[in-house]
């Protein structure tokens, strides 16, 4: 197609967007809403996944010891752990130290400790750092077998739970997104149907004078794509401006959460949203063209 033809198509698209301005507005809003929710779910799922993975990549095992072990016995266990393959560093944390750390973490809620009285229920422990996360599970299993070891933990439970949660949100999100996508396609195809209707005379004449089917289709296809593109632009704009603020808020209260930094993450999500939005627009028009215009 010639450049002049494309100019003509673009002009036609904007004339018709203006002609059906209410439908245009409705279409863009629905696309925006749907994509906003898509983006939101995407961000949540990816962040949870990121959290789970970052926890998984931590290379620390906490080895809790049984009470009433002699210093010699504890020393032996320490030596044995040190000799395990992949162990980089080992640090002893006594009952007393553990209690102090606990107090620190409680902050201004020290009153909780009064219930304990003088007793200290926290065990003596080793913090074992390994060189690679793949070695963690095997090492923890070995250490668990040692005499005098209560248990060796490396956060597997929480990782499993996080993955489980991610999976559920993913399924739930997928269902919602499919419904929204269908609604969006419906709205767009309706808008295009109105355009086809407004132009039926013109379409008829175009066919009689020998315009090709694609020449007739393009303006309608482009109109759907423009609706999708504008809707996704709105959604992307909202998402980009709120993500930073939300991340900052979370860091204020929950410092330890490993959230995905804004860039290039947000750019990738934006690109995806724009692509999906445009594709949905094109699909909506195609459906309308198939049903209402025999070209």
- Token pair in block for residue 184: 């969006």
Residues 20 and 194: their CA atoms lie apart, in Å, by 8
Question: How many C-beta atoms lie closer than 10 Å to residue 176's C-beta?
Answer: 15
CB of 207 to other proteins, least distance (A): 7
201 binds other proteins, rule: CB under 8 A: yes
- Token pair in block for residue 155: 């956060």
210 binds other proteins, rule: CB under 8 A: yes
Return the range that interacts with other proteins (CB under 8 A); candidates 121-129, 184-192, 207-215, 271-279: 207-215
The residues near 166 (Cβ < 8 Å, ≥ 6 apart) are 45, 48, 49, 52
209 binds other proteins, rule: CB under 8 A: yes
Q: How many residues interact with other proteins (rule CB under 8 A)?
A: 18
Pairing state between β 125-130 and 149-153: unpaired
CB of 193 to other proteins, least distance (A): 20
Residues 197 and 249: their CA atoms lie apart, in Å, by 50
9 binds other proteins, rule: CB under 8 A: no
206 binds other proteins, rule: CB under 8 A: yes
Kindly tell me which residue out of 73, 170, 207, 217 binds other proteins, with binding defined by CB under 8 A: 207
Count Cα atoms within 13 angstroms, Cβ side, for 17.
20
Kindly tell me which residue out of 156, 161, 212, 268 binds other proteins, with binding defined by CB under 8 A: 212
Residue 203 preceded by cis peptide, ω within 30: no
8 binds other proteins, rule: CB under 8 A: yes
Return the range that interacts with other proteins (CB under 8 A); candidates 3-11, 29-37, 111-119, 255-263: 3-11
CB of 9 to other proteins, least distance (A): 11
Nearer to other proteins, 8 or 102 (CB): 8
2 binds other proteins, rule: CB under 8 A: yes
3 binds other proteins, rule: CB under 8 A: no
Burial readout 32-62 (b: 16 or more C-beta within 10 A, e: otherwise): bbbbbbbbbbbbebebbbbbbeebbeebebb
Kindly tell me which residue out of 1, 132, 175, 275 binds other proteins, with binding defined by CB under 8 A: 1
Kindly tell me which residue out of 204, 244, 258, 264 binds other proteins, with binding defined by CB under 8 A: 204
4 binds other proteins, rule: CB under 8 A: yes
- Token pair in block for residue 279: 């594709």
**3-state DSSP helix/strand/coil % of the chain, to nearest 5:** 75, 10, 20
Contacting residues toward other proteins, per CB under 8 A: 1-2, 4-5, 8, 201-202, 204-213, 215
């Amino acid at each position: 197609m010639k450049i002049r033809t494309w100019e003509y198509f673009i002009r036609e698209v904007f004339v018709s967007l203006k002609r059906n301005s209410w439908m245009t507005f409705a279409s863009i809003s629905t696309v925006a809403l749907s994509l906003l929710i898509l983006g939101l779910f995407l961000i949540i799922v990816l962040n949870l996944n990121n959290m789970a993975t970052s926890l998984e990549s931590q290379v620390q095992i906490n080895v809790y010891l049984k009470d009433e072990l002699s210093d010699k016995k504890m020393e032996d266990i320490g030596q044995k752990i040190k000799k395990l393959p992949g162990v980089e560093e080992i640090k002893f944390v006594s009952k007393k130290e553990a209690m102090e750390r606990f107090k620190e973490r409680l902050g201004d809620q020290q009153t909780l400790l009064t219930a304990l009285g003088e007793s200290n229920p926290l065990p003596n422990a080793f913090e074992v750092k390994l060189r690679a996360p793949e070695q963690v599970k095997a090492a923890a299993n070995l250490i668990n077998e040692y005499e005098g070891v209560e248990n060796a933990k490396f956060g597997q439970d929480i990782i499993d739970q996080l993955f489980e949660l991610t999976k559920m949100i993913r399924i739930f999100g997928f269902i919602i997104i499919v419904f929204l996508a269908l609604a969006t396609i419906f709205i767009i195809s309706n808008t295009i149907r109105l355009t086809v209707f407004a132009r039926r005379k013109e379409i008829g004449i175009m066919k009689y004078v020998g315009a090709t089917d694609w020449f007739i289709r393009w303006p309608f296809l482009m109109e759907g794509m423009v609706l999708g593109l504008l809707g996704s632009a709105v959604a992307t704009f909202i998402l980009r401006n709120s993500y930073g603020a939300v991340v900052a808020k979370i860091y204020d209260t929950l410092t330890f959460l490993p959230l995905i930094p804004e860039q290039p993450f947000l750019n990738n999500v934006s690109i995806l949203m724009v692509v999906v939005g445009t594709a949905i627009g094109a699909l909506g028009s195609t459906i309308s063209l198939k049903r209402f215009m025999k070209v």
